Structure formats: structure tokens, C-alpha cells
Amino acid sequence: MIDKQSTFGRVAKIIFLALCLVVTVFPLYWIVVTSLKAPGAIYEMPLKYWPTEISFENYIGLFTKSDFGRYMINSLIVATVASTVATLISLLSAYVLARFQFAGRGAVMAAFLLTQMIPGFIALGPLYMLMTNMNLVDSKTGLILVYIAICIPFCTIMLRGFFENVPDALEEAAMIDGCSRLTALFRVLVPVMMPGIAASFIFNFVNCWNELFLSVTLMNSDENKTIPTALAGFISSFNIDWGSMSAAAVLTVVPTLVIFAFASKFIVQGLTAGAVKG
């Protein structure tokens, strides 16, 4: 822009941006502070806005008194497997949708988009019955299968956008050189699209890591619980142990936060491309 900012405009801008930052970051700060207070100190008035004595008691209790380590491993397994498989499957379907004109292409897109409008838990009851019939209730395999199905539509839409950024001359050249379509896809297109694929994968991973209602419905044994189910268990009792809760929250958020910090650029790009194209 050409015009110069007035002093007033600058000050207003700085104040607004600072306020947004403080309001956005404060809840995270607060949960970290809470988790680092000794269990008794959490309920001490007046409130201390910064920890005077740092205590890791809440974290230690999480791993000794509950099986939080196991829940974390379960979540890691489920989210990793589900998002990997979903990304691979979506890569294939997105390729077809981006490159070929065929009867029913519009219908497939519409069917995928519709799943984004209708949330999964509308079918929560019937899904539970289906999983019971397939003997997949309270099994990691079952949860993984459901998560794959949930990730596929949006991931396909997102990846389709990335395919459309890559000229099809690329894989045609490879195929003339004797590659099969599948080899051309993985040897030629995938390397070019790596940022987009990484973004889709991370997006899937975070969604699976955070998913609540399906895991609460489908998982119940301590052995198979994922983090969200465990966290939900914390509130079912009348008194919430806020010390453990905040420690667990920090441990849940930090991995996704780290991933997002590295990939936020690609995710934004993927989301805006996917959503705006609709």
C-alpha cells in the first residue's frame, strides 16, 4: 500500500495485536502454570499468576497413579497408523479426481463434501452397532478403521487441490518412458507434492489425536484407551482433579503444538486451497 500510517493508527494496531496475542496465549500459559503448581497450591487463594515453587508432582502422579503413558502410546499408534493409511488412500483417490473426467466424478466429490457437512456422531449409535457386529468394539484396529474413513474425504479434497498445481505433462512423460501409472505417481508426483502431502498427513494426525466422541463411544478398557477417552474420564467423576487434568492437557497439546509450529505454513496453504475451492 502507498499511504503512510498515522501515529494513531500505529498505536491502535500495536495495542490490538498485543491484546490478541495475550488473549490467545494466556489459556495455554495458565494451564502450564497450573500443572506446575503443587496439588495443594492450585486451590490456594489469592491466585498466583506465576509459579513461585515449581513442582512436577502432577506429572509424576499422572504416570504413577494412572496409566497415562499407555494412553499416550495408544494415541500415538492409532493416530500414526490411521493418518498414514488415510493419506495413502486419499493420494490415489485425489489423483483420479484431479486428472480424469468420468461419469460420476461430480457425485463422488459431492459425497465426500457431504461427509464434511454431516458430523460423524450423527451416526454414532448405528456405528457402534456396526462395530459390535464386526467384533471391533474396544479394539485399536476398529478405531483406526473408523478414523481412516473420517480422514479420507477432506484429505482427498485437500490433495486434489495440490495435484491440480502440478502439470500432468510430468507423469505423462514418465509413462512414455515406461513407468506404470502407479510408479509415475509415486516416483514423479509424490516428491514434487511433498509439502502438500506432509500438510495433509499432519492435519489427519492432529484430527485423530484430538478426536473425542468416537473414541469415547468405541473404547472402554484401560488397555486400549486413547488420551481423549482418558481425559473425558477425568470429568465423569464429580470432583475434577485439576492438577492431573492440567498436566495431562499440557502433555496432550505439546506434541501437536510442536508439529504445527513446523508445518503451519503448509497447513494454512492446504486448508485455504481446499476450503475455498469447496
Partner 1 sequence: MTVDSQRRGLRGTETSSAAPAPQKFVPRKKKFSSRTGWTMLAFMAPAAIFVAIFTYYPMISGSQMAFRHWNLNDLSDTSWVGLDNFKALFENPEFGTIIRNTVVWVVGSLVPQVVIGFALALFLKRKFRFRSGYQALIFFPWAVSGFLIGMLFRWMFNAEFGVVNDFLMKTGLIETPIPWLAEPGFAMTAIIVANIWYGVTFFAIMILAALQSVSDEMYEAAAIDGAGKVRTFFSITLPAIAVTLGLTILLRVIWIFNFPDIIWAMTGGGPADQTHIITTYMIKITQEGDYGQASALGLIVVFTLMLFAVFYLMAMRPRKANR
Least distance from C-beta 45 to partner 1, angstroms?
Answer: 7
Of 56-64, 65-73, 150-158, 218-226: span binding partner 1 (CB under 8 A): 150-158
Q: Which lies closer to partner 1 via its Cβ, residue 44 or residue 222?
A: 44
Q: Is 93 in the site for partner 1 (CB under 8 A)?
A: yes
Between 224 and 248, whose beta carbon lies closer to partner 1? 248
- Under rule CB under 8 A, which residues in 236-255 are in contact with partner 1? 240, 242, 245-246, 249, 252-253
Which one among 38, 76, 77, 108 touches partner 1, defined by CB under 8 A? 108
Contact status: 3 vs partner 1 (CB under 8 A)? yes
Task: Pick from 38, 210, 220, 233 the residue near partner 1 by CB under 8 A.
Answer: 210
Among 38, 76, 77, 96, interactor with partner 1 by CB under 8 A: 96
C-beta of 139: minimal distance to partner 1 in Å? Answer: 14
CA 50, 52, 54, 57 torsion-angle sign: negative
Considering only 25, 60, 73, 173, the residue that binds partner 1 (CB under 8 A) is 25
Going residue by residue from 65 to 84, which x/- string records binding to partner 1, judged by CB under 8 A? --------------------
Query: Of residues 58, 154, 161, 241, which one binds partner 1 by CB under 8 A?
Result: 161
110 binding partner 1? (CB under 8 A): no
Question: Is 145 an interacting residue with respect to partner 1 (CB under 8 A)?
Answer: yes
Cα distances (angstroms) measured from residue 176 to each of 169, 171, 172: 10, 9, 6
232 binds partner 1 (CB under 8 A): yes
Given 20, 60, 73, 173, the residue binding partner 1 (CB under 8 A): 20
